[in-house]
């Protein structure tokens, strides 16, 4: 998990509240990702950012928002529009976004577990 800091590790949210998960990296990687992990479902891509001030929706972006104002930071906001937000959220980075031999080898943070009360 070295080089990527996710916080908080555990978070509890009441229904109707927005929450923001932090992801900071010191690996100098260009690309950053947010994945959601549910038991028995693998990882699903929420958002992806290849460069500062640019990001793309992944497979399950509804109810989530992101920003990429700095290369090092890619926070994820879970909004009240996300109907089933309880999950384990993983931030990842890669040296380059796509293409090339080294691309898409992801480095992951330790994750944030969100529980809706």
Partner 1 sequence: AQSVAQPEDQVNVAEGNPLTVKCTYSVSGNPYLFWYVQYPNRGLQFLLKYITGDNLVKGSYGFEAEFNKSQTSFHLKKPSALVSDSALYFCAGRGRRWSGAGSYQLTFGKGTKLSVIP
The contact set with partner 1 (CB under 8 A) reads 1, 4, 31, 40-45, 48, 50, 54, 56, 58-59, 90, 92, 97-99, 101, 103-111, 113
Instruction: Specify whether the CB–CB gap between 64 and 20 falls below 8 A.
Output: no
Residue where the block lists tokens 């793309």: 56
Q: Where are the beta strands (DSSP E) in the chain?
A: 4-7, 10-13, 19-25, 31-37, 43-51, 54-57, 64-66, 76-78, 87-94, 107-108, 112-116
Q: Provide the minimum distance between the beta carbon of 97 and partner 1 in the complex, in angstroms, as a whole number.
A: 5
CB-nearer residue toward partner 1: 18 or 56: 56
CB-nearer residue toward partner 1: 71 or 80: 71
Q: Provide the minimum distance between the beta carbon of 73 and partner 1 in the complex, in angstroms, as a whole number.
A: 17
**How many angstroms separate the first and last alpha carbons of the chain?**
28
Q: Provide the minimum distance between the beta carbon of 59 and partner 1 in the complex, in angstroms, as a whole number.
A: 8
CB-nearer residue toward partner 1: 65 or 80: 65
Eight-class DSSP state of 63: T
Q: Provide the minimum distance between the beta carbon of 41 and partner 1 in the complex, in angstroms, as a whole number.
A: 6
């Amino acid at each position: 998990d070295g080089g990527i800091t996710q916080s908080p590790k555990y978070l509890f949210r009441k229904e109707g509240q927005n929450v923001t998960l932090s992801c900071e990296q010191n690996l100098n990687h260009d690309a950053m990702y947010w994945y959601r992990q549910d038991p028995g479902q693998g990882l699903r891509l929420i958002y992806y950012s290849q460069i500062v001030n640019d990001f793309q929706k992944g497979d399950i972006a509804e109810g989530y928002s992101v920003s990429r104002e700095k290369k090092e930071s890619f926070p994820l906001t879970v909004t009240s529009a996300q109907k089933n937000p309880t999950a384990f959220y993983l931030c990842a980075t890669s040296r380059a976004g796509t293409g090339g031999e080294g691309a898409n080898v992801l480095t992951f943070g330790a994750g944030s577990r969100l529980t809706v009360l």
